[in-house]
Amino acid sequence: MTVTVDPHAGFCWGVVRTIDIAEEELKETKSLYSLGPIIHNPVEIERLREEGLQPITHDDLEQLRGKSVLIRAHGEPPSTYQAARRAGVTIIDATCPVVTKVQERIRKFYDQGYQIVIFGKREHAEVIGLVGQTNNEAVVIASVEEAARVDVARKTVLFSQTTMDKETFAKIADALRTRVREFVVGTFEETAADFHAKDTICGQVSGRDKKLREFAQRNDVMVFVAGKNSSNGKVLYEICRQANPRTHFVEHARELDPAWFHGAATVGVSGATSTPQWLMEAVKQGVERLTQAKEPESATEFSRHH
């Protein structure tokens, strides 16, 4: 059996940048606080915890006067920076530059009196940061059906959470375009002539779709590695599963089941943009250990070795 790690999988550059900033800071201080989990991957969070990175909540800020707190790649609303200043906390801003650009564009349109509509998940950290640019007045929708909540009498601009899917975004844009007299699709640029082609979805994330489908179709079995709370992970896993029904979701190598690989000649391992390369390699080794054993281990026996 051949086991291959997807060459296009792994951290997006925004996550790589955030992890690098955290690790550089930890070399100097040996202790750093992260406002929320630095990424949606519990295994990587635990690795960084062992290096000194401690996740906290917004309620903890007042207790950290004189300490340094890292803003993760998802970004934060203006109210967070204000609270940090009042608490005497030093902010280390590791917001993904792509997210920062969306925040800036939203703020500009809001200041011009536009109704801001955001395609995204209301409780997602990135969306909370985006809505915060509008004094919490933005309308957040997750489907074409929810577009009915938009006030069609107001001039309106549509933006997107950076990790959403382009197909649904295009459908929402088309639905609003037919109902709103003055309608604009928000982009990373100052102007956009082709509204159908422009959006604020991260190209590195959306570009994964086609390559992931192709990789999944080339393998008999797929193992998709991601945190269960990863929004991007859920989207990419579903794409993978559609391309290859023999796709299995795991957070860690110990969750592997030998029964998944019966009769398979090729196994592919892929993951979300928040899945570290080392974890996918560990899952690959776990699959190889299971499938190369003379007597296939049960999942319980395998977990004892990992």
Q: Are 148 and 174 in contact (CB under 8 A)?
A: no
Q: Are 204 and 274 in contact (CB under 8 A)?
A: no
Q: Which residues pair with 91 in a beta bridge?
A: 69
Q: Are 69 and 94 in contact (CB under 8 A)?
A: no
| Phi, psi (degrees; rounded to nearest 5) at 264 | -90, 135
Q: Which residues pair with 160 in a beta bridge?
A: 119
Angstrom distance (rounded) from CA 237 to CA 246: 12
Structure tokens at 57: 């909540």
Angstrom distance (rounded) from CA 51 to CA 124: 26
126 tagged catalytic: yes
Angstrom distance (rounded) from CA 60 to CA 206: 35
- Angle subtended at Cα 145 by Cα 139 and Cα 147, rounded to the nearest 5 degrees: 30
The interaxial angle of helices 13-29 and 42-51, nearest 10 deg, is: 20
Q: In the Cβ-directed half-sphere of 20, how many Cα atoms lie within 13 Å?
A: 9
Q: Which residues pair with 224 in a beta bridge?
A: 249, 270
Catalytic residue among 126, 137, 167, 238: 126
Whole-Å CA distances, 289 to 135, 216, 249, 299: 53, 21, 18, 12
Angstrom distance (rounded) from CA 264 to CA 221: 7
Which residues are catalytic, by number?
A: 126
